[in-house]
Structure 1
Amino acid sequence: CGICKENIKKYKCKSCSIPYCSLDCYKKHQLTPCEQLQQKQPELINEDKNPSKNILLFTTLDTVQPEKLELLKNCDTLKNLLYNPHLRQLLREIDTATDGYRAIKAAMMEPLFVEFADECLKIVEPLDSNNDDVII
Protein backbone atom coordinates (compact mmCIF):
# COMPACT_ATOMS: atom_id res chain seq x y z
CA CYS A 1 0.00 0.00 0.00
CA GLY A 2 1.34 3.39 -1.00
CA ILE A 3 -0.47 5.10 1.89
CA CYS A 4 0.09 3.02 5.04
CA LYS A 5 3.12 1.04 3.73
CA GLU A 6 1.90 -1.97 5.72
CA ASN A 7 -0.68 -3.99 3.77
CA ILE A 8 -0.82 -5.47 0.28
CA LYS A 9 -2.19 -3.11 -2.36
CA LYS A 10 -5.64 -3.98 -3.73
CA TYR A 11 -6.75 -0.78 -5.48
CA LYS A 12 -5.35 2.21 -7.39
CA CYS A 13 -6.29 5.89 -7.33
CA LYS A 14 -7.92 6.86 -10.64
CA SER A 15 -6.09 10.18 -10.74
CA CYS A 16 -2.51 9.36 -9.76
CA SER A 17 -2.43 5.51 -9.73
CA ILE A 18 -1.06 5.28 -6.18
CA PRO A 19 -1.88 1.85 -4.77
CA TYR A 20 -3.90 1.53 -1.56
CA CYS A 21 -5.26 -1.34 0.50
CA SER A 22 -8.48 -0.20 2.14
CA LEU A 23 -11.21 2.40 2.45
CA ASP A 24 -9.32 4.01 5.34
CA CYS A 25 -6.22 4.50 3.18
CA TYR A 26 -8.37 5.78 0.31
CA LYS A 27 -9.91 8.38 2.61
CA LYS A 28 -6.47 9.43 3.89
CA HIS A 29 -5.26 9.80 0.30
CA GLN A 30 -8.28 11.94 -0.63
CA LEU A 31 -7.32 14.48 2.04
CA THR A 32 -4.35 15.61 -0.06
CA PRO A 33 -4.32 16.49 -3.79
CA CYS A 34 -2.86 13.87 -6.11
CA GLU A 35 0.74 14.61 -7.15
CA GLN A 36 0.50 13.50 -10.78
CA LEU A 37 -2.73 15.43 -11.28
CA GLN A 38 -1.01 18.66 -10.16
CA GLN A 39 1.90 18.02 -12.53
CA LYS A 40 -0.43 17.57 -15.52
CA GLN A 41 -2.33 20.83 -14.99
CA PRO A 42 0.55 23.20 -15.89
CA GLU A 43 1.07 21.29 -19.14
CA LEU A 44 -2.57 21.83 -20.08
CA ILE A 45 -2.31 25.53 -19.28
CA ASN A 46 0.79 25.86 -21.46
CA GLU A 47 -1.00 24.18 -24.36
CA ASP A 48 -3.89 26.65 -24.12
CA LYS A 49 -1.54 29.63 -24.23
CA ASN A 50 -0.33 28.73 -27.72
CA PRO A 51 -3.37 28.73 -30.00
CA SER A 52 -1.14 28.60 -33.11
CA LYS A 53 -0.70 24.85 -32.50
CA ASN A 54 -4.41 24.38 -33.21
CA ILE A 55 -4.23 23.99 -36.97
CA LEU A 56 -7.48 23.64 -38.89
CA LEU A 57 -7.19 20.71 -41.27
CA PHE A 58 -10.29 21.72 -43.21
CA THR A 59 -12.93 24.38 -42.88
CA THR A 60 -16.64 24.51 -43.56
CA LEU A 61 -19.21 27.27 -43.49
CA ASP A 62 -19.77 26.45 -39.80
CA THR A 63 -16.10 26.56 -38.80
CA VAL A 64 -15.44 29.11 -36.07
CA GLN A 65 -12.15 30.95 -36.40
CA PRO A 66 -9.68 30.53 -33.50
CA GLU A 67 -9.80 34.27 -32.75
CA LYS A 68 -13.55 34.04 -32.10
CA LEU A 69 -13.07 30.94 -29.94
CA GLU A 70 -10.57 32.86 -27.82
CA LEU A 71 -13.39 35.29 -26.91
CA LEU A 72 -15.27 32.46 -25.19
CA LYS A 73 -12.74 32.11 -22.40
CA ASN A 74 -13.20 35.74 -21.38
CA CYS A 75 -16.97 35.45 -20.87
CA ASP A 76 -17.99 35.51 -17.20
CA THR A 77 -21.46 34.13 -17.98
CA LEU A 78 -19.92 31.04 -19.59
CA LYS A 79 -17.52 30.62 -16.68
CA ASN A 80 -20.43 30.73 -14.24
CA LEU A 81 -22.40 28.18 -16.27
CA LEU A 82 -19.41 25.84 -16.31
CA TYR A 83 -19.39 25.69 -12.52
CA ASN A 84 -22.45 23.45 -12.85
CA PRO A 85 -21.33 19.79 -12.64
CA HIS A 86 -24.36 18.64 -14.65
CA LEU A 87 -23.36 20.86 -17.58
CA ARG A 88 -19.76 19.66 -17.40
CA GLN A 89 -20.98 16.05 -17.48
CA LEU A 90 -23.17 16.80 -20.52
CA LEU A 91 -20.18 18.33 -22.31
CA ARG A 92 -18.03 15.30 -21.49
CA GLU A 93 -20.71 12.98 -22.85
CA ILE A 94 -20.91 14.97 -26.08
CA ASP A 95 -17.13 15.04 -26.40
CA THR A 96 -16.77 11.28 -25.98
CA ALA A 97 -19.88 10.24 -27.92
CA THR A 98 -19.46 8.08 -30.98
CA ASP A 99 -22.40 9.87 -32.63
CA GLY A 100 -21.84 13.57 -31.91
CA TYR A 101 -24.98 14.69 -33.73
CA ARG A 102 -27.19 12.42 -31.63
CA ALA A 103 -25.44 13.49 -28.42
CA ILE A 104 -25.95 17.19 -29.16
CA LYS A 105 -29.56 16.55 -30.16
CA ALA A 106 -30.16 14.86 -26.79
CA ALA A 107 -28.32 17.62 -24.91
CA MET A 108 -30.51 20.24 -26.59
CA MET A 109 -33.42 18.84 -24.57
CA GLU A 110 -31.69 20.11 -21.41
CA PRO A 111 -32.46 23.79 -20.69
CA LEU A 112 -29.04 24.20 -19.06
CA PHE A 113 -27.25 23.07 -22.22
CA VAL A 114 -29.47 25.28 -24.39
CA GLU A 115 -28.55 28.25 -22.20
CA PHE A 116 -24.86 27.37 -22.59
CA ALA A 117 -25.13 26.96 -26.36
CA ASP A 118 -27.03 30.25 -26.72
CA GLU A 119 -24.40 32.09 -24.72
CA CYS A 120 -21.63 30.62 -26.90
CA LEU A 121 -23.47 31.67 -30.05
CA LYS A 122 -23.97 35.22 -28.73
CA ILE A 123 -20.20 35.54 -28.50
CA VAL A 124 -19.18 33.68 -31.64
CA GLU A 125 -21.99 34.94 -33.90
CA PRO A 126 -23.37 38.14 -32.39
CA LEU A 127 -26.71 39.22 -33.84
CA ASP A 128 -26.49 42.19 -36.15
CA SER A 129 -28.86 44.86 -34.83
CA ASN A 130 -29.49 46.02 -38.43
CA ASN A 131 -30.55 42.54 -39.50
CA ASP A 132 -33.93 41.63 -38.07
CA ASP A 133 -34.27 38.46 -40.18
CA VAL A 134 -34.26 35.25 -38.22
CA ILE A 135 -32.80 32.20 -39.93
CA ILE A 136 -34.38 28.92 -38.94
Structure 2
Amino acid sequence: MGPQQCQVCNQVQSKYKCPSCYLPYCSLVCFKKHKEFPCVKPPSSEAKTTAALESPAKEPIVIDEPIEVLQKYQLEAIASSSEIRDALNDKALQELIFRIDCSSNAENELDKAMEEEAFRLFTDKILSTTNP
Protein backbone atom coordinates (compact mmCIF):
# COMPACT_ATOMS: atom_id res chain seq x y z
CA MET A 1 0.00 0.00 0.00
CA GLY A 2 1.59 3.25 -1.12
CA PRO A 3 1.48 6.72 0.39
CA GLN A 4 -1.95 8.22 0.87
CA GLN A 5 -3.28 11.74 0.75
CA CYS A 6 -4.05 13.53 4.03
CA GLN A 7 -7.72 12.88 4.78
CA VAL A 8 -8.04 16.13 6.75
CA CYS A 9 -6.79 18.79 4.33
CA ASN A 10 -6.87 16.60 1.19
CA GLN A 11 -3.91 18.57 -0.20
CA VAL A 12 -0.71 16.87 0.96
CA GLN A 13 0.64 13.33 1.11
CA SER A 14 0.07 11.89 4.59
CA LYS A 15 3.06 11.07 6.78
CA TYR A 16 1.14 9.80 9.81
CA LYS A 17 -1.96 7.87 10.83
CA CYS A 18 -4.27 8.58 13.74
CA PRO A 19 -3.49 6.07 16.51
CA SER A 20 -7.22 5.61 17.16
CA CYS A 21 -8.86 5.32 13.75
CA TYR A 22 -5.83 5.13 11.39
CA LEU A 23 -7.00 8.15 9.38
CA PRO A 24 -4.02 9.43 7.32
CA TYR A 25 -2.93 12.98 8.14
CA CYS A 26 0.03 15.17 7.19
CA SER A 27 0.81 17.46 10.12
CA LEU A 28 0.16 18.42 13.72
CA VAL A 29 -2.31 21.05 12.51
CA CYS A 30 -4.35 18.42 10.65
CA PHE A 31 -4.05 16.00 13.60
CA LYS A 32 -5.49 18.61 15.98
CA LYS A 33 -8.26 19.43 13.52
CA HIS A 34 -9.09 15.71 13.21
CA LYS A 35 -9.15 15.30 17.00
CA GLU A 36 -11.84 17.98 17.33
CA PHE A 37 -14.27 15.11 16.70
CA PRO A 38 -14.23 11.71 18.44
CA CYS A 39 -12.85 8.86 16.40
CA VAL A 40 -12.72 5.12 17.00
CA LYS A 41 -10.58 2.25 15.85
CA PRO A 42 -12.18 0.57 12.83
CA PRO A 43 -13.11 -3.12 13.20
CA SER A 44 -10.42 -5.45 11.93
CA SER A 45 -11.17 -7.10 8.61
CA GLU A 46 -8.64 -9.84 9.29
CA ALA A 47 -9.55 -12.80 11.47
CA LYS A 48 -7.32 -13.16 14.50
CA THR A 49 -5.32 -16.35 14.24
CA THR A 50 -4.08 -16.74 17.80
CA ALA A 51 -5.45 -15.97 21.22
CA ALA A 52 -2.31 -13.94 21.96
CA LEU A 53 -3.36 -11.43 19.31
CA GLU A 54 -6.84 -10.95 20.71
CA SER A 55 -7.36 -8.36 23.40
CA PRO A 56 -10.45 -6.96 25.07
CA ALA A 57 -11.99 -3.79 23.69
CA LYS A 58 -10.30 -0.72 25.13
CA GLU A 59 -10.76 2.98 25.00
CA PRO A 60 -8.65 4.58 22.26
CA ILE A 61 -5.19 5.67 23.30
CA VAL A 62 -5.01 9.42 23.55
CA ILE A 63 -1.64 10.87 22.69
CA ASP A 64 -1.17 14.39 23.97
CA GLU A 65 2.13 14.81 22.17
CA PRO A 66 2.42 13.16 18.73
CA ILE A 67 6.21 13.33 19.25
CA GLU A 68 5.74 10.45 21.74
CA VAL A 69 4.75 8.13 18.89
CA LEU A 70 7.64 6.13 17.47
CA GLN A 71 8.68 7.05 13.96
CA LYS A 72 8.85 4.45 11.18
CA TYR A 73 12.67 4.27 11.30
CA GLN A 74 12.51 3.58 15.06
CA LEU A 75 9.97 0.79 14.56
CA GLU A 76 12.15 -0.66 11.79
CA ALA A 77 15.17 -0.56 14.11
CA ILE A 78 13.23 -2.50 16.74
CA ALA A 79 11.98 -5.03 14.17
CA SER A 80 15.46 -5.59 12.76
CA SER A 81 17.17 -5.99 16.15
CA SER A 82 18.13 -9.63 16.65
CA GLU A 83 18.69 -8.87 20.34
CA ILE A 84 15.07 -7.72 20.77
CA ARG A 85 13.68 -10.58 18.66
CA ASP A 86 15.66 -13.08 20.75
CA ALA A 87 14.35 -11.52 23.97
CA LEU A 88 10.78 -11.84 22.65
CA ASN A 89 11.20 -15.61 22.41
CA ASP A 90 11.02 -15.75 26.21
CA LYS A 91 7.55 -17.05 27.17
CA ALA A 92 7.54 -15.21 30.51
CA LEU A 93 8.25 -11.91 28.74
CA GLN A 94 5.52 -12.64 26.18
CA GLU A 95 3.03 -13.26 28.99
CA LEU A 96 4.05 -10.04 30.75
CA ILE A 97 3.58 -8.00 27.57
CA PHE A 98 0.24 -9.70 26.91
CA ARG A 99 -0.91 -8.94 30.47
CA ILE A 100 0.01 -5.26 30.04
CA ASP A 101 -1.75 -5.09 26.66
CA CYS A 102 -4.95 -6.71 27.94
CA SER A 103 -5.16 -4.80 31.19
CA SER A 104 -7.85 -2.22 31.81
CA ASN A 105 -5.14 -0.32 33.68
CA ALA A 106 -2.10 -0.85 31.43
CA GLU A 107 -0.10 1.87 33.16
CA ASN A 108 -0.41 0.05 36.49
CA GLU A 109 0.56 -3.27 34.88
CA LEU A 110 3.54 -1.57 33.25
CA ASP A 111 4.67 -0.24 36.64
CA LYS A 112 4.44 -3.77 38.07
CA ALA A 113 6.38 -5.20 35.11
CA MET A 114 9.16 -2.65 35.61
CA GLU A 115 9.83 -4.27 38.98
CA GLU A 116 11.04 -7.38 37.12
CA GLU A 117 14.66 -7.23 35.99
CA ALA A 118 14.05 -9.14 32.74
CA PHE A 119 11.41 -6.62 31.67
CA ARG A 120 13.61 -3.65 32.63
CA LEU A 121 16.45 -5.09 30.55
CA PHE A 122 14.05 -5.58 27.63
CA THR A 123 12.81 -1.99 27.81
CA ASP A 124 16.41 -0.75 28.03
CA LYS A 125 17.18 -2.69 24.82
CA ILE A 126 14.22 -1.03 23.08
CA LEU A 127 15.19 2.44 24.33
CA SER A 128 18.80 2.03 23.23
CA THR A 129 17.61 0.81 19.82
CA THR A 130 15.18 3.67 19.26
CA ASN A 131 17.44 6.38 20.73
CA PRO A 132 21.03 5.36 19.95
What TM-score comes out, normalization by structure 1 length? Answer: 0.50
Distance 1:96 1:124 in 2: 24
Quote the residue 1:34 is aligned against. Answer: none
Residue 120 in structure 1 maps to residue 82 in structure 2: no
Q: How does 1:1-80 map to 2 (within 5 A)?
A: 55-57=17-19, 60=65, 61-80=67-86
Tell me the secondary structure at the aligned position of residue 73 of structure 1.
helix
Quote the residue 2:101 is aligned against. Answer: 95
Letter in 2 for 1:107: A
**Bigger Rg, structure 1 or 2:** 1
Distance 2:88 2:2 in 1: 21
Does the aligned pair in 2 maintain the 1:51–1:66 contact within 8 Å?
no
Unaligned stretches of 5+ in structure 2? 5-15, 20-30, 32-62
Does the aligned pair in 2 maintain the 1:94–1:103 contact within 8 Å?
yes
**Match 1:82 to one of 82, 88, 98:** 88
Residue 106 in structure 1 maps to residue 68 in structure 2: no
**Residue 79 of structure 1, CA deviation:** 1.1
Q: Sequence identity of aligned pairs in percent?
A: 22
Unaligned stretches of 5+ in structure 1? 1-49, 127-136
Structure with the larger helix share: 1
Quote the residue 2:9 is aligned against. Answer: none
Q: CA RMSD in A?
A: 2.4
Alpha-carbon deviations, 1:48-92, whole Å to 9, x = none? Answer: xx6979823465142211221111111011111111100000000
Quote the residue 1:3 is aligned against. Answer: none
Distance 1:75 1:51, change over 3 A: farther
